[in-house]
Amino acid sequence: MSRFFVDPSAVDGKYIYMTDKSDLHHMKKVLRMTAGDEMDISDGSQWEYHVRLESLYDDEATLVILDKQKFAREPELRVTLYQGVPKAGKMEGIIQKCVELGVYSIVPVFMERTVVVDKGNFGKKLDRWQKISDEAVKQCKRGIIPEVGESLKFKEMLDELSNYDLVLFPYENEEGRTIKDCLRRVVASGSIPKTVCIIIGPEGGFADKEAAMLDEAGAERVSLGKTILRTETAGPAALAMTMYELEL
């Protein structure tokens, strides 16, 4: 069943009024929806609705609310992925898979070994990446659309780490402590974190001084296993492991 997102202000009593032109076009021209068709709507905040289409015009659709409930498929754990900006189209796959796995937000980070250079048009990439997040959410029927945030420099990212209950730092040079060891210790302590961030380096990995700064910032240095994962694999893998231990 189709799912769309609206602002909470679009909900008015027993009705929802949709005005987003791209959504209306998709409903009318692609899905060929007509009065009487049913769909799911999320307000991106806390409620999802099962609705029936009452009318559909070029500038507005009127939907009758049949059922209302709090998010059923949205993880309680909020995980932010700080991803070292990768080359080519790798970021698109990272975003798609992490959204499906339950990430709360994704922040591109320029690190010392990042190959990509911001030539002033990086904003266009952010717009495209956000659209990928939008589409991935509709496919997996989540309650919110994870935000792809504005890009940060490494030191700017460090300033944000104090906002999280747990900071995970998967590092290829870590051999003694696995992410499983770290997460199960956290669970055993009885203090389950509500907010977690995972920091992934670019293709060349973290520079030594970056690893040292993360240690100083209190990040948990962990291994993801015996093999070295590509940057486009490490983020989804670490996220899946974290969700398994702390959410499922």
Residue 120 has pLDDT above 90, yes or no: no
b/e for 114-144, b at 16 or more Cβ within 10 A?
bebeeeeebeebeeebbebbeebbbeeebbb
Enumerate the CATH 2.40.240.20 domain ranges in the chain, comma separated. 3-70
Per-residue confidence (pLDDT) for residue 91, from 0 to 100 = 96
Residue 209 has pLDDT above 90, yes or no: yes
Return d(Cα 106, Cα 21) in angstroms, integer: 26
Residue 117 has pLDDT above 90, yes or no: no
Residue 143 has pLDDT above 90, yes or no: no
CATH classification number, 3-70, choose in 3.40.50.620, 3.50.50.60, 3.90.1150.10, 2.40.240.20: 2.40.240.20
Enumerate the CATH 3.40.1280.10 domain ranges in the chain, comma separated. 78-246
171: nearest Cα among 196, 197, 201: 201
Average pLDDT over residues 214-241: 95
Per-residue confidence (pLDDT) for residue 70, from 0 to 100 = 85
Using alpha carbons only, give the angle 239, 243, 245 rounded to the nearest 5 degrees: 120
Q: pLDDT tens digits, residue range 72-114?
A: 778 899 999 999 999 878 999 999 999 999 999 999 999 999 9
Per-residue confidence (pLDDT) for residue 2, from 0 to 100 = 83
Query: With bands split at pLDDT 50, 70 and 90, how would you rate the model's confidence at 233?
Result: very high
Query: With bands split at pLDDT 50, 70 and 90, how would you rate the model's confidence at 138?
Result: confident
Per-residue confidence (pLDDT) for residue 231, from 0 to 100 = 96
Q: pLDDT tens digits, residue range 20-67?
A: 998 999 999 999 999 999 999 998 888 899 999 999 999 999 999 999
Q: Establish how many alpha carbons lie within 13 A of residue 82's alpha carbon, considering only the half-sphere containing its beta carbon.
A: 26
Please list, in sequence order, all residues whose beta carbon lies within 8 angstroms of the beta carbon of residue 92, skipping any fewer than 6 positions away: 128, 129, 132
Q: pLDDT tens digits, residue range 169-204?
A: 999 999 889 999 999 999 999 888 999 999 999 998
Per-residue confidence (pLDDT) for residue 44, from 0 to 100 = 83
Q: What is the CATH number of domain 78-246?
A: 3.40.1280.10
